[in-house]
Chains A and B, each alone.
Chain A
Amino acid sequence: EIVLTQSPGTLSLSPGERATLSCRASQSVRSNYLAWYQQKPGQAPRLLIYGASNRATGIPDRFSGSGSGTDFTLTISRLEPEDFAVYYCQQYDSSLWTFGQGTKVEI
C-alpha cells in the first residue's frame, strides 16, 4: 500500500501570500492517479486538482498542482480568505485509494 505523507502539518500564512504544500509518496505514483482536495470545517471535501496538475471545473487559477514520481506539490499563488482550510492529496494504485494526512492552512 502506498503511503502519502503531507508536509507541513500546518502552514501559517497571511492573505496574499503564496502557499506551497507537499505530498510525498512511499512509492512512485502515476501522475494521472494523484488528486488534491480542499476541506473546510463541517463541509465535504472538494476536488481541486486531478491528474497531478489539472484544475477541476470551477477552481480558480491561483491553485496549481505539479510533480511526478514520489513528490507532488499544490501551490496557491495568492491566498484568499476563503482558502484557509485543510488540504489532502489522494492516490490510486492496484485497486487501493489512499489519502495523505492533510495540511492545514491557517491565518
Chain B
Amino acid sequence: QLVQSGAEVRKPGASVKVSCKASGYIFANYGISWVRQAPGQGLEWMGWISAYTGNTDYAQKFQGRVILTTDTSTSTASMELRSLRSDDTAVYYCARSITARYFYMDVWGNGTSFTVSS
C-alpha cells in the first residue's frame, strides 16, 4: 500500500512537499507517478520517477516547478511543488506505476489535499 502525508495549507508563492510511503512490495522494482485532481475536476498526470534509478519524466506543464525524489532506504517517494498558485489547490495522489510490457498505475495512495490561499 501507499500512505501519503497529511493535508497542507500554503500561501501563494510558497512550496510544499508531499511524501508517499510504500509497504508490502519491493519499492525499487517499480516507479511512482504523481497525479492531481482539482476540486470537481478530472485526473492530471504530473510526473513519474523510477524508484530504482531516480530517472524522472515530467508533464510539460510542471517542468521546472515540481521535483520528484525517492529514498529506497525508507521506501518513500516525495513530490515537491514550488511557486504555488491558487490553482494548485487539489488532491495529490501517488501511484505505483508499471512500466514494462504494459503501462498503468495499479496501487494508489490515499491522497493528500492541499490548499493554496492567502
A96-B57, A96-B59, A97-B33 known; A47-B45 Cβ under 8 A: no
A50-B98, A97-B33 known; A32-B103 Cβ under 8 A: yes
Bound Cα distance A33, B45 (Å): 15
Chain A binding surface SS class? strand
Q: Say if the beta carbon of B105 comes within 8 Å of chain A.
A: yes
From B8-16, B65-73, B79-87, B107-115, the one touching the partner chain is B107-115
Q: Say if the beta carbon of B7 comes within 8 Å of chain A.
A: no
Bound Cα distance A56, B44 (Å): 22
Bound Cα distance A96, B101 (Å): 16
From A12-20, A77-85, A98-106, the one touching the partner chain is A98-106
A46 to B108, Cβ gap below 8 A? yes
Chain B binding surface SS class? strand
Other-chain contact of B105, A47, A86, A95, A102 (Cβ < 8 Å): A47
Chain A 57-99: CB-based contact to B (< 8 A → 1; otherwise 0): 0000000000000000000000000000010101110011111
Other-chain contact of B42, A32, A44, A51, A102 (Cβ < 8 Å): A102
In the complex, the chain A residue whose C-beta lies closest to that of B108 is A44
Q: Say if the beta carbon of A25 comes within 8 Å of chain B.
A: no
In the complex, the chain A residue whose C-beta lies closest to that of B96 is A47
Determine how close the nearest CB of chain A comes to the CB of B91; give it in whole angstroms. 9
Number of interface residues of B (CB under 8 A): 24
In the complex, the chain B residue whose C-beta lies closest to that of A56 is B106
A44-B93, A50-B98 known; A35-B104 Cβ under 8 A: yes
B27: which A residues are within 8 A, CB to CB? none
A44-B93, A44-B111, A95-B57 known; A100-B106 Cβ under 8 A: no
Ordered by A's residue number, 23 sampled pairs between the chains whose C-beta atoms are within 8 Å are A32-B103, A33-B103, A35-B104, A35-B105, A37-B43, A44-B93, A44-B108, A44-B109, A44-B110, A45-B95, A51-B104, A56-B106, A88-B43, A90-B45, A90-B104, A92-B103, A97-B45, A99-B35, A99-B43, A99-B44, A101-B42, A102-B42, A102-B43
